[in-house]
Amino acid sequence: MVGSRRPGVLTALVALLTAVFVGFMIVGGPTGAFVSDVGTVIILVFASSACLVRARARRGRLRAAWAGIGLGSVTYAFGETTWTWIETVRGEAVPFPGLPDIGYLGSTPVLAAALFLVPTPRKSAANRIRGLVDVAMMACSLLLVCWILVLDPLIGASDATALSLGVSLGYPLSGVVLITVVLHMFAVLHRDSPDSGPLTLVGVAMLIVGGCDSAYAYASLSSEYTSGGLMDAGWFLGFAVVFLAARYPGKTVTAATPDVAPGQAEPRAFAMLVPYVAVLAALICCALSYAMTGDVDAFVAWGRSVLILLIVCRQVLTLLENRHLTRHLEARVLERTAELQASEQRFRAMVQRSSESVAVVDADSTIRYQSESVERIFGWPAQMLLGHRLVEIAGRKSGPRIGAAIESVIAGPELFTVIEVPMRHQDGRVRLAEMTITNLLDDPAVNGLVLNTRDVHDAKELQDRLMYEAYHDTLTGMPSRALFRERLVEAIARCDGRDEVAILFLDLDGFKEVNDSLGHAAGDALLVQVAARLRAAVREEDTVARFGGDEFGVIVESLAARADAEAVAGRIAAALEEPFEVGERELHVAVSIGLACAADADDVEQLQRNADLAMYRAKSGGGDRLAAYDPAMLAGLVERLELEADLRVALTRDELALHYQPTVDLRTGEITGFEALVRWYHPTRGMVSPLDFIGTAEATGLIVPLGRWVLTEACRQAVAWGAGTTRRLKMAVNVSVRQFEHGDLAAMVAEVLAETGMPVDQLCLEMTESVLLTDTDENLAQLHRLKDLGVTLAMDDFGTGYSSLAYLRRFPMDTLKIDRSFVDRLGGEHEDEALVSTIVRLGRSLGMTTVAEGIEDSVQLAVLKELRCDYAQGYYLSRPLPAAEAGRVLEEGLATALGEPVASPR
């Protein structure tokens, strides 16, 4: 910021000094002359110094303008200093003309040039030419006024020498030049330009100085001027204003600040009127002169002729500019009209082809506009609905709800509400519709309520089905682990004492042998019968759930929960003693049961852990028994801790390896990629199942370094398989929710990609829905960062979690992996096939590819191909293979029901 920080104080100080100076001029005498000479020199020094200092803080033309004003003030100060030296120091009469006149008159061209350098907004060529004509008109007009009022009387009344007369005439002519330049600057100076305010003050100062110069010329020629008079106050005031302008704060200027306000200069009323005001002043002076003298001299006649010619030129230029402006405006109007028409057509096309029905209704629900998309969605022609009240069309159930929703938004502009109501399709079906009602009654373009309605029936059914699947076991129909936990929390909250809740954890003895010997189908049939006997053995108020595999749980809630739980366990054991008929075989299974009471636990997790420990105690004791939790069972955790310790060093000992399961394109049969699966070769335990150590890695946070290792090795292997070929294999790697919680996953992935040279578009990161449900906002941000890298994102085990459609729309997923529990049921009930078909169609509607997991026979494969699923994985196609075997399969192709062996493209 250049200038005083307190402009009001500075203005008051300058006004006070000027008033004191004027007071001395009124007193007059020798003191007045001395004060006039010295005071004017001092104010000139201050004014020129302030201008030069301000110039240093500016740049470009603005710097040159302030430097010119400062130099002009220095030139004027030279004249005033020599005058003071002669008159005050030497005590002599100042000769006229003399050395001071050189300084006074020499300042005019410098000041005029400086004011012409003031930066102005960008102007067209026509504007620049018209500006020059305006300057000529003002100069000619002011010269005529000056001739009539000053120059002609001076010439006629003077008997001075030619030199004296010429110098005398130079002062009013200098005033004409300064006033012309100042008026031009006022006309073109943009109010948003830097220093527009201070430069306006400089212009006012130049008007004062120019007027005083003209008065001095007349007084000098008639020998009426003496130092110390009121005329000197005019010069002092003028340069005091220059000093004030140089110190006055303006717009903050930086290296990036433009000299002028951006944009094309627009003609302003002041700029248009100033030349005509000057012309009017000249004509009035000419008319008054003629009325007083009755004569018109040659100079006035020629001046008027030139002025008329300039006015004609200006009008011609204005006419040409107006014509150009008119053509430009017409072109802009046509262009804008075309844009509006195109925009309207796009909007109409989007509305008519939208998946939503758009309607505009009155406050009483009368339909004034209805998009044609309603016929595609609900079967009703749009014209048939116009003029009818929606609350009547919707029926007795939905009508009142719609009416109440309308009432709720009418209270204020732009209020909106969203409701779900059943709407009848024209074919008689009742469809669930989501309706958004927005109040745009105050919008003049709409003047109504806008209703956006879409059919969410299928999506809602799928969401309800998926929610049921998430909370219920698909094989037995029992509550799942998630629902078991929720009911356990509710039971503990309901009870007055924690000893009123107990739980049983059950694990079938020998079930693995049934699966291994008779197959999964026999195992599933056995589980269904076990579930039926469990339901019959428990009390009606008890909750029995299947956790997965051959594990079950029971919640017992009563005043004597432990005793009742033991009784329930006895009935269960007795019910399972009877043999089960599976096919033509009779199978015998026993059950290991762990019992734990809420009174022995601090929270739900600890209660479940206690039951789990008790169940493992029963299992380790030979099975077919009940074991109640005892704190000593915590010793069993030692083995798990040992497993955790071994896992910590497994990476450094090269005990981990990756197996790769192919992903196959169901349309072509080609291998399009692999899923990397980690395996642990323990030196003493042998092959450790991922089911045994992945959970430990998750719980301890070891999944983070393990996940990075898996990602790095998988990317290196993919790069190796693609070396020297044109293969574009997609490598899928699983990521855990713990990896999202620990550091910046996107940064880690980027580092691995750069380290291995893996093409970013060939990496697919798979994650379960737990990622979407945990710390949603932060995980969403991480997913977007991963998406920005260019990797593919897949939702694994789709359908086993919450599977909210809102999450699918919100999260940037590319692929849905249909869980194997859905694939297992293909080829059986039509309802199961319809569910998979719905998931495939849902993925396609969201622009996502679908991958089916766990294909184990040709029937499942055929059904998936018929349902137009995109890709498939499973043991029927290929089990996970070590890198070397996977490479051979990649070269030789798969021999499956897809056809002859087909190698992946090179």
Q: What domains can you pick out in the chain, each with its CATH number?
A: 7-251+274-312 (1.20.1070), 354-462 (3.30.450.20), 472-629 (3.30.70.270), 641-897 (3.20.20.450)
What's the pLDDT at 348? Answer: 61
User: Of all helices (H) and strands (E), which one includes residue 367?
Assistant: strand 367-370
What's the pLDDT at 92? Answer: 79
Which of 569-594 are b and which e, b meaning 16 or more Cβ less than 10 Å from the residue's Cβ?
Answer: beebbebbeeebebeeeebebbbbbb
> Out of 249-263, 281-295, 586-600, 751-765, which region has the weakest mean confidence (pLDDT)?
249-263
Above 70 in pLDDT, residue 643? yes
> Out of 102-106, 607-611, 816-820, which region has the weakest mean confidence (pLDDT)?
102-106
* Stronger pLDDT, 347 or 878, i.e. the higher one: 878
Above 80 in pLDDT, residue 267? no
pLDDT digits (tens, 9 = 90+) for 456-480: 877 777 777 877 877 888 888 899 9
CA distance 725 to 720: 10
Residue 145: name the closest of 25, 314, 336, 299 by CA: 299
pLDDT interval class at 85 (50, 70, 90)? confident
pLDDT interval class at 224 (50, 70, 90)? low
Above 60 in pLDDT, residue 617? yes
- Alpha carbon 419 to chain centroid, angstroms: 29
What's the pLDDT at 264? Answer: 42
Mean pLDDT of 40-51: 86
CA distance 559 to 739: 44
Complete edge-to-edge strand list for the sheet that includes strand 501-509: 543-548, 551-557, 501-509, 590-597, 626-628
Distances (CA, A) of 886 to 74, 716, 762: 91, 14, 17
What's the pLDDT at 801? Answer: 56
What secondary structure letter does DSSP report for 451? E
3-state DSSP assignment of residue 848: coil
State the amino acid at position 254 in one-letter form: T
What's the pLDDT at 538? Answer: 92
Tell me the average pLDDT of the chain: 81
Residue partners of 888: CB distance under 8 A and separation at least 6: none
pLDDT interval class at 217 (50, 70, 90)? low
pLDDT digits (tens, 9 = 90+) for 673-723: 999 999 999 888 888 888 778 877 887 788 899 999 999 999 999 999 988
pLDDT digits (tens, 9 = 90+) for 395-448: 888 888 888 888 888 888 888 888 888 888 888 788 888 888 898 888 887 888
What's the pLDDT at 755? Answer: 93
What's the pLDDT at 758? Answer: 93
Above 60 in pLDDT, residue 265? no
What's the pLDDT at 885? Answer: 92
User: Of all helices (H) and strands (E), which one includes residue 720?
Assistant: helix 703-722
Phi, psi of 318 (to 5 degrees): -65, -40
CB atoms within 10 A of CB 850: 25
CA distance 881 to 873: 13
What's the pLDDT at 373? Answer: 79
User: Of all helices (H) and strands (E), which one includes residue 49?
Assistant: helix 29-56
Above 60 in pLDDT, residue 5? no
pLDDT digits (tens, 9 = 90+) for 766-779: 988 777 666 567 78
Mean pLDDT of 725-731: 86
* Stronger pLDDT, 167 or 224, i.e. the higher one: 167
User: Of all helices (H) and strands (E), which one includes residue 587?
Assistant: strand 585-587
Distances (CA, A) of 687 to 433, 453, 549, 636, 680: 54, 57, 21, 21, 6
What's the pLDDT at 895? Answer: 66
3-state DSSP assignment of residue 678: strand
What's the pLDDT at 506? Answer: 94
What's the pLDDT at 30? Answer: 60
pTM above 0.85, yes or no: no
pLDDT digits (tens, 9 = 90+) for 784-837: 899 999 999 998 877 665 555 656 777 788 998 988 888 888 877 667 788 888
What's the pLDDT at 266? Answer: 46
CA distance 291 to 849: 97
Share of the chain above pLDDT 70, in %: 86
Beta bridge mates, 435: 419, 453
